[in-house]
Amino acid sequence: MDRAELAAFLRRRREELRPEDVGLPVGARRRAPGLRREEVASLAAMSTDYYTRLEQQRGPQPSEQMLAALARALRLSDDERDYLFLVAGRNAPSPQVISTHVAPALQRVLDRLNDTPALILNNLGEILVQNRFAEALYGDSSRFTGLARSGIYRWFTDPGERLIYPEHDRDRQSRAQVANLRAAHAAMGAQSRAGELVRVLQRESAEFAAIWDRHEVAKRFEDHKVLVHPQLGEIEVDCQALFTEDQSQMLLVLTAPPRTEAFDKLQLLGVLGTEEFVS
């Protein structure tokens, strides 16, 4: 771990960012350029004291999870993220786990979506980041670990995962989940995390195994669907999907036409929060 270089790199990247770059209000005039330390710490979900010690060459060696959070908070490119890992004394992420790093271009778009559900997923159905409206609709994805981070895995192993779709639409959603995973499996290979997910689901879910044998492949989501919120009921939404160039990540934006019941329900999500999802 190169403490001096890590500190200098973090400080320079922080100073080059502006509040509007990360979806924060500009606020009053700032005495120093760039983001404040507490803002970076908040974006990375860590304490300000911990982050400050890293910039002052006093902190402990960050974990891989902490480095990934910093890379996302500082909107690092893939090369910058790899460099961050290396100067912190960690191996750069392998190609099989790169899909957990949020594409900066998608993150910049998400930062500006403050009035409708929006989230970024990788090709394994893992929510990498979501705004507060999406969190109120889908629940807090950060509570999941291991294979359960994948919405595809949860769909076939946790009956509660299906409640967000009307019963009549669940068969179609099952086929869509498997078709998406088959595309990821082809791109990532049998020995990748996608391959592991397939092998586990073939053992644990007869439904998954039967659909997998149909060899359907697709990456697109439905352009229009109905979702079910535990308090607001059914919400008709239009779905816009923006993919990275390699198709490994997708920004999904849910909208409804103004002056409709669905539009009003989406606005209410910002008020209701995630209380219904707390167990």
CB neighbours (10 Å) of residue 272? 16
**Whole-number percent of the chain with pLDDT over 90:** 50
Tell me the CATH number for domain 3-88: 1.10.260.40
Q: What is the pLDDT of residue 278?
A: 42
**What residue segments make up the domains of the chain, in order of their start?**
3-88, 104-272
pLDDT in tens, 103-121: 888 988 998 898 999 999 9
* The predicted structure's pLDDT at residue 260: 95
pTM of the complete model beyond 0.85:
no
Per-10-residue mean pLDDT of the chain, 279 residues long, equals: 90 87 73 84 91 91 89 85 89 66 87 92 92 91 89 95 94 92 86 92 96 84 85 93 86 94 92 56
Q: What is the pLDDT of residue 196?
A: 93
Convert the pLDDT of each residue in 57-70 to its tens digit.
Answer: 988 899 988 998 89
Structure token pair of residue 16:
């080059």
3-state SS assignment for residue 191: coil
**CATH class name, domain 104-272:** alpha beta
| DSSP result, 39-92 | HHHHHTTS-HHHHHHHHTT-SPPPPHHHHHHHHHHTT--HHHHHHHHHHTT-PP
